[in-house]
Each structure stands twice: as C-alpha cells, then as structure tokens.
C-alpha cells in the first residue's frame, strides 16, 4: 500500500537555522549541522552546482527531537 507523503524539502544548514532558530539553543551552527550531515546523522545530498549540503528537513527535525529527548533524560538522571 502506498502512502502519499507531504512535500520533501531540502535546505542548506544556514537555511535550516533560519527556519528553526531554536537549534542554536542546542549549540548548533551551520558548520556543526554540515558536520553532522557529513557524519551521516542527517539525510540529504551535496548540491552539484554549489557543492553545499542540502539536508532533508524531516531528518533535521528528527535529530533535533532526539537530541532534546537525550538532554531531557540527562537532566532526569542528574
């Protein structure tokens, strides 16, 4: 059975920070987001023209949620 998904959006690390400014509260910068992409923590591709990371928005949101959950768990254990 096929499911119809919403729009698939890819953004550069700096665009993601503009869309999700709370990511900077996690200590994330455009450079760190690019590093996480190259480390395989985010899904996306390298833009051929500009040679920059284009990251799937959904994977970025999932990683932010995961990091937030881990941080919350860490606070509970302290």
pLDDT per residue as tens digits for the range 7-45: 789 999 999 999 999 999 889 999 999 999 999 999 999
DSSP label at residue 28: -
pLDDT band at 1 (very low <50, low <70, confident <90, very high): very low
DSSP label at residue 32: H
- Give the model's pLDDT for residue 54: 95
pTM of the prediction?
A: 0.82
Residue 4 reports pLDDT greater than 80? no
Would you list the domain boundaries of the chain? 10-77
Q: Which helix (H) or strand (E) holds 58?
A: helix 57-77
**What count of other Cβ atoms lies within 10 Å of the Cβ of residue 32?**
15
């Amino acid at each position: 059975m096929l499911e119809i998904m919403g729009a698939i959006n890819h953004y550069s690390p700096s665009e993601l920070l503009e869309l999700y400014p709370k990511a900077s509260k996690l200590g994330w910068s455009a450079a760190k987001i690019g590093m996480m992409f190259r480390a395989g923590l985010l899904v996306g591709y390298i833009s051929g023209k500009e040679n920059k990371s284009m990251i799937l928005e959904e994977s970025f949101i999932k990683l932010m949620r995961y990091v937030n959950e881990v941080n919350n768990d860490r606070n509970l254990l302290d």
